[in-house]
């Protein structure tokens, strides 16, 4: 994978975390509480893994990192 900003080769790895991250489209305000209903109303996209499954989670999404630009590209296609 090559960086879309600078064109250099990106580092390959996985994006690890405690879950419950979500993508919020531009124009939506950040929700104060998190529930599937609220996230849906705000057109947010909940990204795996969910915090509920973390102790058993072995799969994190593949990701690519550009050292130069601090740009992260995450591939969730295998988890959603
Ligand atoms: Zn770059």
Q: What is the pLDDT of residues 21-77, one digit of tens each?
A: 999 999 999 998 888 899 999 999 999 887 775 566 678 999 999 999 999 999 999
Residues 1, 73 contacting (CB under 8 angstroms): yes
C-alpha of residue 62 to centroid of ligand 1, in Å: 17
Determine if the pTM surpasses 0.85.
Answer: no
Residues 22 and 53 occupy one common structural domain = yes
Distance between CA atoms of residues 12 and 49, nearest Å = 19
Residues 54 and 24 occupy one common structural domain = yes
Residues 26 and 39 occupy one common structural domain = yes
Distance between CA atoms of residues 14 and 64, nearest Å = 8
Residues 53 and 64 occupy one common structural domain = no
C-alpha of residue 3 to centroid of ligand 1, in Å: 5
C-alpha of residue 22 to centroid of ligand 1, in Å: 23
C-alpha of residue 15 to centroid of ligand 1, in Å: 17
3-state DSSP assignment of residue 54: helix
Residues 41 and 72 occupy one common structural domain = no
pLDDT of residue 26: 97
Tell me which residue range forms the domain holding 29. 18-58
Residues 38 and 7 occupy one common structural domain = no
Number of domains making up the chain: 2
């Amino acid at each position: 994978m090559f960086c879309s900003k600078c064109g250099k080769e990106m580092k390959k790895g996985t994006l690890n975390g405690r879950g419950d991250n979500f993508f919020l489209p531009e124009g939506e305000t950040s929700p104060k509480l998190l529930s599937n209903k609220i996230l849906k109303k705000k057109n947010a996209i909940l990204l795996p893994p969910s915090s509920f499954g973390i102790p058993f989670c072995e799969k994190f999404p593949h990701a690519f990192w550009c050292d130069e630009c601090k740009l992260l590209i995450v591939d969730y296609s295998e988890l959603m």
